[in-house]
């Protein structure tokens, strides 16, 4: 894996969506899509989600990259980089050379390939530019939309991990998907 010291958060695009560092003016967009009950159901975001939660998340996004190598990035419309469509994260465990992708998309941007495009962009960055040896996605069992995103993005289903994650203090099962550097990519 490449030495991550000095590596800046990227701006990536496929011409349709842009994945970029968060900006302070993204607060209204983050706050809005985190009000969605489906987002709360399948993620670990606070509920209820307050303006303060969005502001705190955004103010810490750069710091978490520097401190922990967790890259939290905005998904924006490529034609209007100010129009936020969601978020995508690549959390990296440097000693293991493994990254984990997480994503959330605003309700109005769902079922349009936005999440898959963002996942492909950060996955290519992690494997090709950062030299990760594995990228994984853990999907809460039952979240068929997120499962479809992982599969559409070329990730291989590995199985169900029992009590893998804590969601609001409760252990939950998740489906685990992975992509390795030599695996076929559908993009």
Domain ranges of the chain: 12-135
Determine the pLDDT at residue 3. 80
Determine the pLDDT at residue 73. 97
- Residue given tokens 């030495």 in the structure block: 3
The CATH number corresponding to 12-135 among 3.40.50.1700, 3.90.230.10, 3.40.630.30, 3.30.499.10 equals: 3.40.630.30
CA distance 142 to 152: 17
Determine the pLDDT at residue 63. 85
- pLDDT at position 176 over 90: yes
Determine the pLDDT at residue 82. 78
Tell me which residue of 136, 60, 57 sits closest to 96, measured CA to CA.
136
b/e map 35-67, b = 16+ CB within 10 Å: ebeebbebbebeeebeeebbeebbeebeeebee
Determine the pLDDT at residue 32. 94
Task: Give percent of the chain with pLDDT exceeding 90.
Answer: 77
- Tens of pLDDT, residue by residue over 26-72, are 999 999 999 999 888 998 899 999 999 999 999 888 888 888 889 99
Q: What is the mean pLDDT of the chain?
A: 93
Determine the pLDDT at residue 61. 86
Determine the pLDDT at residue 86. 96
Determine the pLDDT at residue 145. 95
Tell me which residue of 120, 44, 37 sits closest to 75, measured CA to CA.
120
- Residue 126 structure tokens: 């992690």
Determine the pLDDT at residue 81. 72
Tell me which residue of 135, 138, 136, 134 sits closest to 161, measured CA to CA.
138
């Amino acid at each position: 894996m490449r030495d991550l010291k000095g590596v800046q958060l990227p701006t990536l695009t496929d011409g349709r969506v842009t994945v970029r560092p968060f900006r302070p003016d993204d607060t209204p967009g983050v706050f809005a899509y985190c009000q969605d009950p489906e987002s709360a159901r399948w993620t670990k975001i606070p509920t209820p989600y307050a303006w303060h939660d969005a502001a705190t998340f955004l103010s810490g996004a750069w710091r978490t990259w520097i401190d922990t190598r967790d890259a939290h990035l905005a998904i924006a419309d490529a034609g209007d980089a100010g129009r936020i469509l969601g978020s995508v994260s690549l959390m990296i465990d440097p000693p293991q050379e493994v990254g984990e992708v997480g994503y959330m998309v605003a309700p109005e941007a769902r079922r349009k390939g936005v999440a898959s495009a963002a996942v492909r962009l950060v996955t290519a960055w992690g494997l090709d530019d950062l030299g990760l040896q594995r990228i994984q996605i853990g999907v809460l069992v039952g979240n068929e939309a997120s499962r479809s995103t992982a599969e559409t993005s070329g990730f291989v289903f590995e199985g169900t991990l029992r009590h893998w994650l804590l969601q609001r203090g409760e252990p939950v099962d998740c489906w685990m998907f992975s992509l390795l550097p030599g695996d076929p990519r559908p993009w």
